[in-house]
Amino acid sequence: IGTSKNAVMNQIWTALITILLLKVMKATAKFGWHLSNLVAFIRLNIFVKIELQKWLDKPFENHEKPPAKSLQGVLFPDFYKK
């Protein structure tokens, strides 16, 4: 949140990229989303761990929850096995 030319340009580019990503998500979804509804639902669920494409296609169905603990990217997996 700045007022310099560079800060404003960064904010404009960030907004354009965000809108582009949202429109791609809307286009690939099987559910008939309105862009404003999609933005609102994404905002509510931004930190929820879900499979995005399944949620976009069928937002009001219960989906399987992902595994609680993932070892992806862990350098020493044996350390966590107890």
pTM of the model: 0.66
For residues 63 and 53, give the distance between their C-alpha atoms in angstroms, rounded to a whole number.
11
Q: Give the mean model confidence (pLDDT) for residues 4-29.
A: 95
Which stretch of 3-7, 20-24, 33-37, 64-68 has the lowest confidence by average pLDDT? 64-68
Decide: helix, strand or coil at residue 66: coil
- The identity of residue 45, as a single letter, is N
Phi/psi of residue 15, each to 5°?
-65, -40
- Contact (CB, 8 A) for 8 and 2: yes
